[in-house]
């Protein structure tokens, strides 16, 4: 799926880490939501409320999933899931274009 049709886009961006991570919210007719975002190179820790599917559209990063010591290499075309109410760490090594789906 290269585009999302019949959606609502929130105009204002979400800005994190001084602009190194930015995203916009997409709302679907069924009430579900995703964010489309950009991460610049850097190290980040994120916490989830809802469970998430992080789909990497382009770029490269390593992820340390909740409760794991392991760093997994992930690149464009790959994805990973994070459970609800958890935190995970990222080492982003190139610009990363991503789509995050939330499972409320």
Piece of 16-24, 44-52, 61-69, 77-85 that binds its own copies (CB under 8 A): 16-24
Best CA proximity match to 40, nearest among 20, 67, 12: 20
Positions in 70-99 near its own copies (CB under 8 A)? 95, 97, 99
Residue closer to its own copies, measured from CB, 62 or 97: 97
- Tell me the three state secondary structure of residue 77: coil
Count Cβ atoms below 10 Å from residue 48 Cβ, excluding itself: 18
**CA–CA–CA angle 35, 39, 45 (5° rounding):** 90
Positions touching its own copies (CB under 8 A) are: 1-13, 15, 18-19, 22, 24, 26-27, 36, 38, 40, 57-58, 95, 97, 99
């Amino acid at each position: 799926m290269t585009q999302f049709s019949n959606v609502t886009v929130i105009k204002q961006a979400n800005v994190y880490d001084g602009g190194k991570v930015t995203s916009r919210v997409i709302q679907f007719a069924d009430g579900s939501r995703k964010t489309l975002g950009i991460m610049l190179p850097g190290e980040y820790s994120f916490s989830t409320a809802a469970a998430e599917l992080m789909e990497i559209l382009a770029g490269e990063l390593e992820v340390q999933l909740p409760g794991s010591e392991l760093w997994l290499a992930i690149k464009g075309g790959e994805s990973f899931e994070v459970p609800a109410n958890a935190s995970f760490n990222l080492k982003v090594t190139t610009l990363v274009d991503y789509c995050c789906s939330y499972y409320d």
